[in-house]
A and B are shown apart, each in its own frame.
Chain A
Amino acid sequence: MYGKFLTHMFACPFCSLHCDDLEISLEEQNLTSLFPICPKGINGFSNALSSLASNKKDKSSENWKEDWTRTIQLIKTAHHPLVIIGGGISYTAQRLAAALARQINAWADSPASLGGCALPWTAVEVGLTTCTLGELRANAEILILLDIHLEEDYPRFTNRIWRPGTQQPELLEINSHELFQITDQDPNEPLIKTLVHLRLCFSNFFTEPVIELCHTIGKMLDVSRGAIVFSSRLVSGGRMLTIELFGLLHKISVAHRCNWQALYLPGGSNWPGASQALSAESGYPCAVHFSPRQVKFSPIMYSATNLIEQNAPDLVIGVGDIGWLSTKALNRLRETPTIVINSVPLMENVGIWLPIALPGVDDKGIFLRADNVPVHLSPLIASQNPSAEYILQNIMEEFK
């Protein structure tokens, strides 16, 4: 495991694509190469490895003991705890976090509450028509990337979608800040050329014209299978927008008697796991209260952001990455007793940080890819850090 080695078919924890075709090499626990190259992956691995080295220095066993005692004490004395299930931890740990919330009758939430539970409510309002990455790869003739910054967020998206030796799907990126330019740019590009004639003008990206635009594209291209790919950027724009978007897909499908899907690429790694875990433990995807008699659901009242902004919880337990909370909520955490169980601290001077191993770096674990397909991550190196599962099981043991 140590010194120089090369691992084939390595899976990456750093975005929700969870690429499983990487070759990675380390020398003395330093990343020397990652192939195929992905800047975000390289960054993620390098940071994780270097913070691993520094954690070890920071977190002496005495500190651990002290933090552990305070953690148990805080949970024991809390009357209104909130458990937030984040990304960056394994699905098994996410299930345990939800089970802990149930055990201590806490509020519990997942990133599915973004944009006022946009995705779950879309299912109820207009339905969700979605598919796996490979389904797009095999069948989609066009992908419309709606407000997605591929380079930044999902650098290897196209590698995952394009199969060598086959026809590549048409790729149309529509980003809110570039929308004006699309109409008079690059007239040689066939798809854009057709758009030029539209002479569309948008005052607001998140409104009906975009929906019309997509509809028009569908009509113009007369494709029978396509997909709109979007991310948490769009979902966090609000519930109504997401509902409208799916309504559009439905319209296109009916108008063309074709299959249009949506693929939601959640921003954080293993976000789909968080909502699925909470759903399996509570019956609801997000924003629940495990009250003693029966679990209750209230997408507005019980969302983590809302609860923290209202100062409702007297203890917040963040399991995994909870950096997706609103800035206001994150700032509130400076005054609220908080326990963060994650591979990296949340912010300076926020609560107790119990460092854990990160699947894909110093732990194993299963993450759900953006399309809910499980991907197994293996450890690159060994570390002293306990797994999230270990910490959560021990906390639960204390409250049996």
Chain B
Amino acid sequence: MTIVLKGGQVYDPANGLKGKVCDLWIEGDRIVAPPQNPVNLTVIDARGWIIAPGAIEIHAHLGGQPLTMARHFCLSEEREASGWIPPTAEIATAYLRMGYTTLMDAAMPSLTSWLTHVDLQEMVGVDRGAYVLSGDHALVLEVASHGDQKTLREILAWLLVTCGAYAIKLTNPGVATLWRKRIALSSLNDEIYPALTQRKLIKSVASAIVNLGLPHPLHLHVGNLGQPGSWRNFLQTIESLERLPAHLCHIQFYLYDEKESGLLSSAVGCVLDQLVSHTELTFDVGQVTFGPTVNLSADVQLIEWLHNLTNKAWSYQLWEGEGAMAALPTQYFPDDPVSAIQWATGLELLLRFPDPLRLFLTVDYPNGGSFTAYPQILAWLMQRDARREMLKKVHTAAMSYCDLYAIEREYTLDEIITMTSWGPARALGLLDRGHLGIGALADLRCYKPQIDLVKMFSDPVLVVKNGQVTVREGKIENNLPHGKILLVRPPIDECVQEQTTQSFFRNITIPKVQYGLSMCGKELANIEVVSCR
């Protein structure tokens, strides 16, 4: 089947198109050059529409056991009052309705990775993948402590393959291992395992990932999240990577300083030059939005700290052989000084960081709030007056302790498309998407231009996934394409991993044949193995 979108304004930052009026041809699931004799041609009149590549979610919690834990806190009959987390399949369609065509789950435990995959299978209409939590995996810690980079590579490759993961995630690595002993992890130089500091682990894993040639570098949740002064540890972590590539997630949550009043203040100015100069790094923001939600993280120390701060009930589950997951209900109020400062810090960062190819929009769903707030956030970025209006409505601390009001910048549409499509695609090493060049995956979104940007970004007039129209005038079409589960499968040296994993499996209650996807890996449906470099 061939589709032509005729006469739209095409925004394709990767190919230098900034609203060029042209026709866009799709054959099968790919963008193609105008064919000689198109078969089964569907002509879509796109005159006046904005056409852009499908958006990509680089960091959100979307399924598996962790989300079940978060849902335990959403028992109110009034959904809106509890930050209700929709069923997994609905999460996917809600993203799709906004023009998102690729989603990444940021925290898949290895022990229950099969459960994450059941959810991923249900998320039809988009491509999706998951990062495997590795920062407290007993094997990773043990091998890294020996300084044996070759075996570390093997273990990371084994984890990726066994769990059907797309990338390696470290969440404040070592935190759960120390937390079990009631020891707080506060610095990169803390010993998290005999002869292993957090600093050494981060660098070893980042380096092993480069050597494995994975499409996405280390995905890192830095320590000391949310603490006043956390920007210092954040910068030290960047230095500890010694210029190795990495993606640092939800970084807004680290950019806080402390005022004498005891309140937080934005520390964007303290880190900006460093962020800009480290061109080997990419980031996502973790923007805070207002309303009830659930904090969900493998950083169990962080959630306990929040629990002590707020006195709210919290839950955690410790997993044998690896880390933990913890959850705590929360609410960001516009008239609360801390929430307001967090909100303003995220926007300040987005507006002061100059390169949309390296800083992406996320809310770290559900931590910063719901992803359905993306259209509103985009509108604030593009409309100075709208965000200043909002700034006047939130607690005055945001005005006093952040530089948001003074910022004149307004994002261009080209920049918005870059930060939501081509930027994350490039960071994920998914070079077949995020752009509309010949041969690219035909994932795209079309908007009817309008003054109300929130409405425009909320309701794309058309969304195409794999060359198939999936959303028309805001309505989901029937028979969505299944989409692919994105995985990597680096080669494994069976001998090395057999030897190395033996003691690990003696210590846990699940045998190797039952671990992760071991029993069903070959049966996984709809997968796409993305090649390593």
Contacts and interface: CB of A to CB of B under 8 A. Distances in A.
Contacts of A163: 507
Contacts of B73: 123-124
Contacts of A9: 511, 513
B313 interface: yes
B77 interface: yes
Nearest to B314: A127
Contacts of B329: 124
A129 B182 contact: no
Contacts of B507: 134, 138, 163
B112 A129 contact: no
Given A280-B63, A285-B72, A374 B315 contact: no
Contacts of B86: 283
Interface in B358-397: none
A21 B513 CA distance: 11
Interface in A311-342: none
Contact of A284 (B71, B89, B315): B71
Interface residues of B toward A: which range? 35 or more
A373 interface: yes
A126 B316 CA distance: 12
Contact of A280 (B68, B182, B520): B68
B119 interface: yes
B520 A376 contact: yes
Contacts of B71: 279, 283-285
Interface in A88-118: 91-92, 95, 117
B72 A133 contact: no
Interface string B284-299: 0000000000000000
Contacts of B25: none
Interface string A352-369: 000000000000001010
Contacts of A281: 87, 89
B313 A125 contact: yes
Interface string A250-280: 0000000111010000000000000010011
Contact of A129 (B111, B315, B319, B508): B315
Interface residues of A, number: 56
A282 B91 CA distance: 11
Given A259-B182, A297-B77, A374-B114, A123 B313 contact: yes
Interface in A114-143: 117, 120-121, 123-135, 137-139
A224 interface: yes
Interface in B290-336: 307, 313-321, 329
B180 interface: yes
Nearest to A127: B313
A245 interface: no
B202 interface: no
B407 interface: no
Contacts of B63: 280
Contacts of B314: 127
B194 to A, nearest CB: 16
A224 B315 CA distance: 19
Contacts of B513: 9
Contacts of B317: 128, 130-132, 371-372
A223 to B, nearest CB: 13
A193 B322 CA distance: 37
Nearest to A121: B75
Given A279-B68, A374-B112, A124 B75 contact: yes
Contacts of B44: none
A279 B119 CA distance: 11
A88 to B, nearest CB: 18
Nearest to A139: B180
Given A129-B316, A135-B320, A138-B507, A283 B74 contact: yes
A125 to B, nearest CB: 6
Given A258-B182, A283-B84, A372-B65, A133 B519 contact: no
B509 interface: yes
A119 to B, nearest CB: 8
Interface string A188-211: 000000000000000000000000
A134 B75 contact: no
A11 B511 CA distance: 11
Given A259-B182, A376-B520, A138 B75 contact: no
A374 B115 contact: yes
B190 interface: no
B88 interface: yes
B271 interface: no
Nearest to A377: B519
Contacts of A376: 514, 519-520
16 contacts: A9-B513, A91-B118, A121-B75, A129-B316, A131-B318, A132-B319, A134-B509, A139-B180, A160-B509, A163-B507, A280-B67, A280-B68, A299-B75, A372-B115, A373-B510, A374-B514
Given A117-B75, A283-B79, A297-B75, 18 more contacts: A20-B510, A91-B118, A124-B72, A124-B75, A124-B329, A131-B319, A134-B320, A134-B509, A138-B508, A279-B68, A281-B89, A366-B520, A368-B115, A371-B317, A373-B509, A374-B114, A375-B514, A376-B520
Per CB-CB distance, the 8 closest pairs between chain A and chain B, nearest first, are A134-B320, A123-B72, A131-B318, A134-B509, A376-B519, A127-B313, A128-B315, A134-B508
